[in-house]
Structures are given as structure tokens and as C-alpha cells.
Amino acid sequence: MSPIAFLKMHGCGNDFVVLDARRAPLALTPAQVRRIADRHRGVGCDQLVLLEPAADADVRLRFLNSDGSESGACGNGTRCAARLLFEEGAQGPLSIVVGERRLVAERLADGRIAVAMGEPRFDWRQIPLAEPCDTKALPIAVEGLPRPVAVSMGNPHAVFFVRDLASLDVPRLGALLERHPLFPERANIGFAQALAPGRFRLRVFERGAGLTLACGSGACAAMVAARRLGLAGDTAELILDGGTLEIRWPGNGSVVMIGPAAQVFSGTLDPELLNDGAD
């Protein structure tokens, strides 16, 4: 196998290995994904972003978590891929296909990327949940936490609104809740604290990647959940460990996420890293 070029990018510290499969198809096994994402023996990242050709859009994106699993959404990864296309000379707005969803990305005058992430879903089957229940207050009772809100942004999220985020052991609680029996496909677990009207502190334990510095779809889910509970208006600032995202959602239609996307370095993957006998 010949060396494969990659780009290292991040959005608010949520980091990605970006691989371009628009001209030559690239099929990676979960074990290969895990080796590339390994922070000691590979390049290291929270997710791999695969750019693929799309007949009726600018690009199709696939997102692979560091544990090798695939996700139907990744907000920060979408902004990074959009930035790459803009750097290549594409003129916005960009049409981006992710699974069944069609997203739209634009570059703002201040350099930030805005992505219309599609409509949030609230039906228990769409999250998905293991059984019918009120998605505004899931029947999960863990260590005195309030009941979480469930939202699908193309991937499953549960958001807990807490009083004191700093006092929570997010890695431990996240790992416990990601695999709660109510989530047949596991879930991304967000912990949000209201700081002021329209401002929230948020930490997300991501399905398949653990605690990350930022989760774009998690920020969208938290804002939508806050609005559903009457805790937010049409826009909110979500302050994550690695930076701030602005989220807009007027109560219907697509959720718009605005934030930075950065390029860090480029390189080539040694074919040995992709050798499935290398573990």
C-alpha cells in the first residue's frame, strides 16, 4: 500500500485526522482507525474525517471515532472539512452530505465557519432509545443528577443540566452513561450549566472517543435541549473546554453552529501503520 496523505485539523480542540478519498476510495478497518487515532503509536485524534465524492453535493463526509465506530454527525469535523474546501477555492455556500442529511456551510467575514446542521430529532425511535419515553426527561436516575434531555443531531445525545459542573467527575459519569441500557447505539453524554441568559458551560463525554475538548453536535444538542426546557432563547453561546461555539435555533428547522476551524500540520501515514498484522 502506498503512503496516504493526511491533514491534522481541530475545531475548539476537538482534533481530527482528515483523509481525502474524493479521487481514490479508501476503506479502513476499525483496527486501522484505532491505530491512526492512537496518541502514542499513531497520529492521534478524537475522530477521523473521510472526504468522499458526492454526485449532487460538494462533498460527502464520514466520521470515525477513535474506537473505530462510525457516527452520523460531527459538528467540529464538518467545520474543518468545510474550511479545507474553502482553502481549496470553493465558493460558499457548500453543500455537504452526511449520511441521509444535507448540511450547508459558509465562511463568515471573521473567518469562522457556520454550518446548518439539519433538524434536531426528538422521537425516541430517532434518538434511538430502547423504549418509548419522554425525551425531555429520560428515566435515568444516577447519583442525584437531574433527568437528561435526549436529542438526535444525526447522532444520539443526552444532556444533563446541572448546577455545578466543576464538581462533577465527567469522565467517570460519562463512561457509565454512554453505555446505559436506554441507549442501544450508546450516546454522547453532555453536562451543561447555565451561566447567564444565553450562556452555558458544557462538557461532553463523546461516544467512541471519551471526554473531548469540544463537541459541535453536543453543543447543538445542548442548545436545543435548553430551548425545549425554556432555558434558552433563539441563540446561545456554549463554552466548551477548548473554545466557544455559537448556536442558533429558533425552535424549528435547521440548527446553525458557528465556530473556528484550524489546520495544524500535514503528513503521510506510513503503510506499516495500516498493516492489519501490526497490532
Ligand X SMILES: N[C@@H](CCC[C@H](N)C(=O)O)C(=O)O
Residues that contact ligand X, how many (by CB under 6 A): 22
74 catalytic, yes or no? yes
Distance of CA 30 to the CA centre of its chain: 18
Sequence-distant (6+) residues with CB within 8 A of 253 are: 119
- What sign has the CA pseudo-torsion 38, 41, 44, 47? negative
Sequence-distant (6+) residues with CB within 8 A of 219 are: 75, 202, 204, 238, 240, 245, 247, 257
Q: How far apart are CA 36 and CA 193, in angstroms?
A: 34
Q: How far apart are CA 211 and CA 176, in angstroms?
A: 12
- Selected range binding ligand X among 103-111, 168-176, 202-210, 229-237, rule: CB under 6 A: 202-210
Q: How far apart are CA 171 and CA 206, in angstroms?
A: 10
Can residue 178 be called a binding residue for ligand X (CB under 6 A)? no
Identified binder of ligand X from the candidate list 15, 50, 63, 129, rule CB under 6 A: 63
Identified binder of ligand X from the candidate list 213, 217, 227, 274, rule CB under 6 A: 217
Contact pattern for ligand X over residues 236 through 275, marking x by CB under 6 A: ----------------------------------------
Instruction: Compute the least distance from the CB of residue 209 to ligand X, in Å.
Output: 5
Can residue 152 be called a binding residue for ligand X (CB under 6 A)? no
Query: What CA–CA distances, in Å, run from 106 to 7, 38, 112, 161?
Result: 21, 32, 9, 31
Can residue 155 be called a binding residue for ligand X (CB under 6 A)? yes
215 catalytic, yes or no? yes
Can residue 135 be called a binding residue for ligand X (CB under 6 A)? no
Nearer to ligand X, 117 or 230 (CB): 117
Can residue 193 be called a binding residue for ligand X (CB under 6 A)? no
Can residue 66 be called a binding residue for ligand X (CB under 6 A)? no
Q: How far apart are CA 9 and CA 261, in angstroms?
A: 7
Identified binder of ligand X from the candidate list 209, 231, 245, 247, rule CB under 6 A: 209
Among positions 42-61, residues that touch ligand X (CB under 6 A) are: 46-47
Q: How far apart are CA 36 and CA 278, in angstroms?
A: 12
78 — phi, psi (to 5°)?
-65, -45
Instruction: Compute the least distance from the CB of residue 80 to ligand X, in Å.
Output: 9
Contacts with ligand X by CB under 6 A lie at 14, 46-47, 63, 65, 71, 73-77, 155, 188, 206-209, 212, 215-218
**Residues labelled catalytic:** 74, 215
